[in-house]
A and B are shown apart, each in its own frame.
Chain A
Amino acid sequence: MNISKIMRVAAREFASTAITKGFIIGALVVPAVMAAVIPVVMVLAMGAQPPADTGTVYVLDHSQEVLPIMQDRLSPEAVKDRWIERFDDASKMAQKIIPQAGAAAAEKSLEQAASNIKSPIFRVIPAGDDTNIEELKEELRQQVASDATLEDEQRTLLAIVEIDADSTKIVNEDEGYGAYQAFFRPKLNEETVGEIKDGVRWSIRQKRYDNAGLDRSQIADIHNVSARESKEITEEGERKEASGIASFAIPFASMLLLLIASMTGGQYLLTTTIEEKSNRVVEVLLSAVSPMELMTGKIVGQMGVGLSLLTVYNSVGIMALIYFNRGDLVSPMTLVYFFIFFIMAYFMFASLMAAIGAAVNDLREAQSLMTPVMIMMIMPYIFFMPVIRAPNSMFSTVMSMIPPISPFIMIMRVASTDPPPTWQVLLAILINALGVIFFLWFAAKVFRVGLLMFGKPPNLRTLIKWIRMA
């Protein structure tokens, strides 16, 4: 093995893959742009609402006391005020997410969006106590059937609300409060429906407070229990409570990143190997380097590709965590393990890809041989839930020791809030190291024989024959 030749092959492999417009745009620029654009899109989406619904809401109020409150609550001004308030809250959140550079632009678009808010306009009308609900429904049915736009759009019937007589007063101790029922025109905006339902509920509740002689704001205060940040007490001391991000998102993201980085490098390796073989450039190369040197160089080169991806994505992820003040969720040791497991997962995966690439004549033929590899790559997804729920169960422990899926399972365990004992991690590293040696051995044999074999693509049995041959 000539190291300088291996590095030469690796350098070309890396350059021809990573220093191309396609890779830089696909792997680096697109995610970066996505990350920058998503908050902006969120803001714009808030501005671009569907046209507001305008029309009449009939209220058949058997209780005789909810309607005035409802008319108040659903008056166009009141609705609009609430919408603006809600928008302000959302935009504050969005501004927090948008990076500094984009903040000014975002603020501008937010202002614009605020002036454009179109809240629904309701005309809440009493239906008259003697009206039959069926008549009202018939009117709505006819309006819907005629499908005509009414000249006075306020006459458009949006909803019919029937409120029970006992909805605000308890008449019978055993039955409790009465109910209400609403009938809607189809295809209304979700917000319109929500606004009407909320209006009815809020009004009924208000009347119930009044009837019971309670002060609404006082009850709201009583309801509101504020808490200082929760902490977990561990052996080392206190730490922030494991939130959803910590227990799910971080292990999942680590596994996914590992998978993406190994797959990307491996896929490129497959393509370049097939390309070199079908180009017949491989025999020229073999006159200068041995098959083993060629394969090692290619694997190392693509490892560089995977590592660059990982470095970029990891830095972005960690920067995001630090930004949200949760830098504590990823320990430096986890990062070290992360890179170790990446290298092991990658080597096993890449060996298979190199072997497949050398065995076939084109990408299409590779598909059938790829199936077992793909199954292997899907397994971490399938095992994600059971492992994350119980990172130290028997199942998780065993799965994290079986190459080639071991690195993916182990990194989930390591990144979880309940990491495994260090000896298990080290054992997994040892087992994976053996796995890497086995996979490389297998790949080297297939690679050597396969490179100069053209014609019928091999099946598993021929592959085994090649291994015996080499």
Chain B
Amino acid sequence: MSDSSSLAVAMTGVRKTFGQKVAVEGIYLAIPQGSIYGFIGPNGAGKTTTIRMIMSILFPDHGELSVLGKKSAIESKDQIGYLPEERGIYKKMKVGAFLKHIGRLKGLDSRGLDSVVKGWLERVELEDVYKKKCEELSKGMQQKVQFVASVLHNPDLIILDEPFSGLDPVNMRLLRKLIDEEHSAGKTVIFSTHVMYQAEQLCDHIVMIHEGKKVLDDTLEDIRTRFDPRALHVDPIGGMGMTDQIAQVSGVAHVSSVEGALEVVLDEGIEPQTAMMTLLAAYPMNRIEIKKPTLEDVFIEIVTGGERGSDAEQLRADLLAGAQKDSEEVAS
């Protein structure tokens, strides 16, 4: 493990309880500077509690943690940008005044602050809201203002708790671009989400939290290799009726229908490329591809121990419901 001074965040054996309820337990983390980390897990898994402990808003009952080489975030608050999940805004304050207030609280000098604020508003395409009251903005606009509030003091470490929830696709892309830019500028970015594909699009490292415990901590690449489902997605010209015939092909262990295609699980030791050739030779196909593991699949596999069953389906449904709730928020 790398030297702790080059780590943006380090946690060892952290545990936090609220009364009887254990929120997180046995969390070990080593987040190197300059990386982009995704905390994923369903709602209530303990992501926000972990983040609040990193921010020293909550304090762990057990275990140690250091942030930017300091014992706690309190000593380095001004180098951290934080977008909480429950994000708030002074409704009656003007956008410019609000951002300047936060900027000054974050230790920025009053001189030149105005142009910093205006520059950031331009970057999030909100040039003309400077003099508007916060309550006059739409929810999505408010969210962009809040994002600006968390980064305008040019922090080394940016922590974003569910940054995408409630954003429409256009703004989601804009925010993704901004996060990417910050990452490219050498900042450490940590963000949490329960919508796993968002993490896949942005992160180079994933930490998965489930029921207060860390169940996965790896690079996206490693995860893909490790959780290679060794399966193909095929769409035979004969349609879904071909299930039985395909199951007869050598090297195929199991066939099931998934979202308008057939998922073909391969026998141990069979290379996907070989199986593809065999299948193509046997039957004409509209489409055939190697299945890539999604984080959702990985998550479900970890949680259910790789078993397929009602538990897995329930979990998948829960995850989907979470994602859908988000898109509904956007629609409203």
Question: When the two chains form their complex, are residues A289 and B90 in contact, meaning their CB atoms are under 8 A apart?
Answer: no
Q: Does B319 contact A (CB under 8 A)?
A: no
Contact with A along B56-77 (1 / 0, CB 8 A): 0110000000000000001001
CA of A282 to CA of B84, assembled, Å? 10
List residues of chain B with CB within 8 A of the CB of A282.
Answer: 88
Q: Does A290 contact B (CB under 8 A)?
A: yes
Q: Contacts A284-B149, A287-B55, A288-B77 known; A279 to B88 CB distance under 8 Å?
A: yes
Q: Contacts A8-B101, A16-B93 known; A287 to B88 CB distance under 8 Å?
A: no
Question: When the two chains form their complex, are residues A289 and B105 in contact, meaning their CB atoms are under 8 A apart?
Answer: yes
**Set A280, A283, A285, A452: member contacting B105, Cβ < 8 A:** A285
Question: When the two chains form their complex, are residues A284 and B101 in contact, meaning their CB atoms are under 8 A apart?
Answer: no
CA of A441 to CA of B91, assembled, Å? 30
- Dominant SS among interface residues on chain A: helix
Q: Does B173 contact A (CB under 8 A)?
A: no
Question: When the two chains form their complex, are residues B86 and A288 in contact, meaning their CB atoms are under 8 A apart?
Answer: no
Question: When the two chains form their complex, are residues A8 and B93 in contact, meaning their CB atoms are under 8 A apart?
Answer: no
Would you give 7 A-B contacts (Cβ < 8 Å), ordered by A? A279-B88, A281-B89, A284-B89, A284-B102, A287-B80, A288-B78, A452-B52
Question: When the two chains form their complex, are residues A287 and B91 in contact, meaning their CB atoms are under 8 A apart?
Answer: no
List residues of chain B with CB within 8 A of the CB of A285.
Answer: 105
**Set B89, B101, B149: member contacting A279, Cβ < 8 A:** B89
Question: When the two chains form their complex, are residues B86 and A287 in contact, meaning their CB atoms are under 8 A apart?
Answer: no
Question: When the two chains form their complex, are residues A12 and B101 in contact, meaning their CB atoms are under 8 A apart?
Answer: yes
Closest chain A residue, CB of each to CB of B106: A288
**Set A8, A288, A452: member contacting B58, Cβ < 8 A:** A452
CA of A165 to CA of B145, assembled, Å? 95
B17 CB, nearest partner CB in chain A, Å: 10
Number of A-B contacts (CB under 8 A): 60
Q: Contacts A16-B92, A283-B57, A452-B58 known; A9 to B87 CB distance under 8 Å?
A: no
How many residues of chain B have a CB within 8 Å of chain A? 28
**Set A16, A287, A290: member contacting B90, Cβ < 8 A:** A16
Question: When the two chains form their complex, are residues B88 and A452 in contact, meaning their CB atoms are under 8 A apart?
Answer: no
CA of A5 to CA of B108, assembled, Å? 11
Closest chain B residue, CB of each to CB of A297: B105
- Chain A interface extent, by class: 10 to 19
List residues of chain A with CB within 8 A of the CB of B80.
Answer: 287
Question: When the two chains form their complex, are residues B93 and A287 in contact, meaning their CB atoms are under 8 A apart?
Answer: no
CA of A282 to CA of B102, assembled, Å? 12
Centre residue among A5, A9, A285, A288 by max chain B CB count within 10 A: A288
Lowest 3 A-B CB distances belong to which pairs? A281-B88, A280-B88, A287-B82
Q: Contacts A279-B90, A289-B105 known; A284 to B77 CB distance under 8 Å?
A: no
List residues of chain A with CB within 8 A of the CB of B78.
Answer: 288
Closest chain B residue, CB of each to CB of A277: B88
Q: Does A276 contact B (CB under 8 A)?
A: yes
Question: When the two chains form their complex, are residues B88 and A283 in contact, meaning their CB atoms are under 8 A apart?
Answer: yes
CA of A284 to CA of B87, assembled, Å? 7
B146 CB, nearest partner CB in chain A, Å: 7
Q: Contacts A280-B86, A283-B84 known; A9 to B105 CB distance under 8 Å?
A: yes
List residues of chain B with CB within 8 A of the CB of A287.
Answer: 55, 57, 77, 80-82, 84, 150
B291 CB, nearest partner CB in chain A, Å: 40
Residues of A at the B interface (CB closer than 8 Å) are 5, 8-9, 12, 16, 276, 279-290, 452
CA of A9 to CA of B104, assembled, Å? 10
Centre residue among B74, B82, B88, B106 by max chain A CB count within 10 A: B88
Closest chain A residue, CB of each to CB of B52: A452
Centre residue among B57, B146, B149 by max chain A CB count within 10 A: B57
Question: When the two chains form their complex, are residues B88 and A284 in contact, meaning their CB atoms are under 8 A apart?
Answer: yes
Question: When the two chains form their complex, are residues A452 and B104 in contact, meaning their CB atoms are under 8 A apart?
Answer: no
Contact with A along B190-225 (1 / 0, CB 8 A): 000000000000000000000000000000000000
Centre residue among A8, A287, A290 by max chain B CB count within 10 A: A287
List residues of chain A with CB within 8 A of the CB of B106.
Answer: 288
Closest chain B residue, CB of each to CB of A470: B59
**Set B58, B74, B93, B102: member contacting A290, Cβ < 8 A:** B74
B113 CB, nearest partner CB in chain A, Å: 12
List residues of chain A with CB within 8 A of the CB of B107.
Answer: 5
**Set B57, B91, B146, B150: member contacting A286, Cβ < 8 A:** B57
14 extra A-B contacts, CB within 8 A, seeds A5-B105, A279-B88, A284-B87: A12-B101, A276-B90, A279-B90, A280-B87, A280-B88, A281-B88, A284-B82, A284-B150, A287-B81, A287-B82, A287-B150, A288-B105, A289-B105, A452-B52
B272 CB, nearest partner CB in chain A, Å: 46
**Set A8, A16, A284, A289: member contacting B84, Cβ < 8 A:** A284
List residues of chain A with CB within 8 A of the CB of B88.
Answer: 276, 279-284
A177 CB, nearest partner CB in chain B, Å: 75
Question: When the two chains form their complex, are residues B91 and A284 in contact, meaning their CB atoms are under 8 A apart?
Answer: no
CA of A94 to CA of B194, assembled, Å? 74
A255 CB, nearest partner CB in chain B, Å: 34
Closest chain A residue, CB of each to CB of B77: A288
List residues of chain B with CB within 8 A of the CB of A283.
Answer: 57, 84, 86-88
List residues of chain B with CB within 8 A of the CB of A5.
Answer: 105, 107
List residues of chain A with CB within 8 A of the CB of B86.
Answer: 280, 283
List residues of chain B with CB within 8 A of the CB of A8.
Answer: 101, 104-105
Q: Contacts A280-B86, A280-B87 known; A288 to B92 CB distance under 8 Å?
A: no
Contacting A at CB under 8 A, from B82-131, are: 82, 84, 86-93, 101-102, 104-107
A138 CB, nearest partner CB in chain B, Å: 73
CA of A276 to CA of B84, assembled, Å? 14
B83 CB, nearest partner CB in chain A, Å: 8
CA of A331 to CA of B211, assembled, Å? 67
Question: When the two chains form their complex, are residues B58 and A281 in contact, meaning their CB atoms are under 8 A apart?
Answer: no
CA of A16 to CA of B55, assembled, Å? 27
Closest chain A residue, CB of each to CB of B57: A286
Contacting A at CB under 8 A, from B26-77, are: 52, 55, 57-58, 74, 77
CA of A279 to CA of B91, assembled, Å? 8
CA of A40 to CA of B178, assembled, Å? 65
CA of A283 to CA of B51, assembled, Å? 12
List residues of chain A with CB within 8 A of the CB of B81.
Answer: 287
A250 CB, nearest partner CB in chain B, Å: 39
